[in-house]
Structure 1
């Protein structure tokens, strides 16, 4: 249920009618209360009966008053607001956590780490892309935490996070790590971001490598590993970093990159087995068997490099 539905239910309760728009016409909430609602001739308005009043006071009135008070106090009430109920509940928890001090350390860590929108989404929402395009929700989070989450939209050009004395290069599938400069620069990592599958440009990067070893960091899912294989065609000595992040359920996170041949994990989802170590293949088989994946930003960059070198 989103704020538009909650607001419409309240208007129906207070005034006796509410105009039907596309959101309300498709709303499962309004459909679930069809016995308590009537539609005016011409299908322009929902009107209520006595059953609705009883249902609304029992199930929705307290929530509406809580959410309305919070949104108004935070100056978030806008005509285009479409926050769902779970989003508002989470914002209220954030506000309470900052007020009582339980989230102050986390807020400081987010600021220190120059956290990105997708990084924050990975921590608090069901997947790392949940906040994509949700400008008002991102603004509300920034306001409550008093931070500015870094935007990390896909780019169509090679972006480089430079450091003073680079020891190696890491090609990143996503832009998250490039938005947080402290760990890479402190350890001599130069980060490259080509924009996901947009890797043909890597053919022209030989001179700017300066003979440095180069590694690949990406999501451990079908798409991320396919991108590694495409990038390795352009950079034959590209080495794959082994993940240290916790895997997540593909179905539970609404992830769109699905493993091929789940009934036969040993086929490695059609990936080229010659490009992976025994350890890599075992991890891929494990992820396919569990229908899991590992996000790039869920890994620790320094740990991946240290483990590769050891």
Structure 2
């Protein structure tokens, strides 16, 4: 089997996800998905799916597809399907949600009480929660807006504008640890919390004041921080570490597992840059293990960074839990 490129959840629609599941369950699909870039990739550059002989409108699964689907899609699809049913949203192939939309709706559901209590206008809500699509997204995508209204049990968004910070959390009763995340990606995959038996908090960017809201009872658990390994992400870690030290708590940064997926710092829509005027880019060496320092030194030297979402949370968590790093 040829190497498969990384999937982008913003590019896969629910109709494509459902068709991929039909290929797994029924071994074929007649869904009109052959113009989708990822489907074309699977058809033209792998041996996993192909057009049916005599009827090129039908796609059929080939040897290896079942294993591939189970490794990459099965668990997530089942979670999405059950979630849409729970919300009384018919999970048929006609829905134009992207996978990222569904993950964001799940995050909204997990934090629905907090979001409803601090509800702002639709533009502000869209900009902060659907940050991958912008402030006008909910106004123009009816299916997603209607799903949000249903989850929050409201008829419409208020008109007033509030400068609010939302407490986005995926809870787990009696967690073994708390993982603070710079980005929302891992929170949009709540099966991570269930599988690892941890609680996930979003504390990215200027949202770190949320750390002050962590209850004293929760500070008894080990606390880890997951982030982009770039200058901004590591500076946020330092700020969080200093905040929690004042409360007598240490936070451990999750060091990415190898092989690292390096990106140049000038990659698309990435604005964080290393500070070459200062030793170690001005970061506090004492906060980092020797392996973490070695990785940061390489990143600075070669002008690279590692995106948080490129890591597998389960692997990274157990890697650090076992003190391998």
> 2:270 and 2:293 mapped to 1: Cα distance?
22
Alpha-carbon shift at residue 218 of structure 1 (Å):
0.7
> 1:208 and 1:238 mapped to 2: Cα distance?
16
> 1:176 and 1:168 mapped to 2: Cα distance?
18
Deviations 1:167-215 (A, max 9, x none): 1111011111112222321221111113433111212313251511111
- The counterpart of 2:61, out of the listed 101, 106, 122, is 101
> 1:234 and 1:180 mapped to 2: Cα distance?
27
* 1:52-91 equivalence runs, <5 A: 74=32, 89-90=37-38
Alpha-carbon shift at residue 165 of structure 1 (Å):
3.1
Gaps of 5+ in 2: 1-30, 50-58, 80-94, 108-126, 130-164
- The counterpart of 2:76, out of the listed 113, 118, 130, is 113
Measured at CA, do residues 197 and 208 of structure 1 come closer, stay the same or move farther in structure 2, by a change above 3 Å? Answer: farther
Rg larger in structure: 1
* 1:174-185 equivalence runs, <5 A: 174-185=183-194
- The counterpart of 1:196, out of the listed 202, 205, 210, is 205
1:253 aligns with 2:267: yes
- Paired residue for 2:241? 232
Alpha-carbon shift at residue 115 of structure 1 (Å):
11
Deviations 1:241-282 (A, max 9, x none): 1111523222573252333244x7x82222122211221111
Deviations 1:207-252 (A, max 9, x none): 2515111110111111111111111122121111111152322257
1:270 aligns with 2:282: yes
> 1:285 and 1:295 mapped to 2: Cα distance?
16
Bigger mean CA offset, 274-283 vs 243-252: 243-252
> 2:97 and 2:167 mapped to 1: Cα distance?
31
- Paired residue for 1:7? none
Alpha-carbon shift at residue 89 of structure 1 (Å):
4.9
Measured at CA, do residues 247 and 289 of structure 1 come closer, stay the same or move farther in structure 2, by a change above 3 Å? Answer: farther
Gaps of 5+ in 1: 1-72, 77-86, 117-137
> 1:213 and 1:175 mapped to 2: Cα distance?
20
- What TM-score do the two structures reach when normalised by structure 1? 0.54
> 1:198 and 1:285 mapped to 2: Cα distance?
27
- Paired residue for 2:311? 299
Conserved 8 A contact 2:228-2:307: yes
Q: Secondary structure at the match of 1:219?
A: coil
Deviations 1:63-86 (A, max 9, x none): xxxxxxxxxx9599xxxxxxxxxx
- What TM-score do the two structures reach when normalised by structure 2? 0.52
- Paired residue for 2:296? 284
Q: Secondary structure at the match of 1:269?
A: helix
Alpha-carbon shift at residue 141 of structure 1 (Å):
6.3
Q: Secondary structure at the match of 2:180?
A: strand
Measured at CA, do residues 154 and 219 of structure 1 come closer, stay the same or move farther in structure 2, by a change above 3 Å? Answer: farther
- Paired residue for 1:167? 176
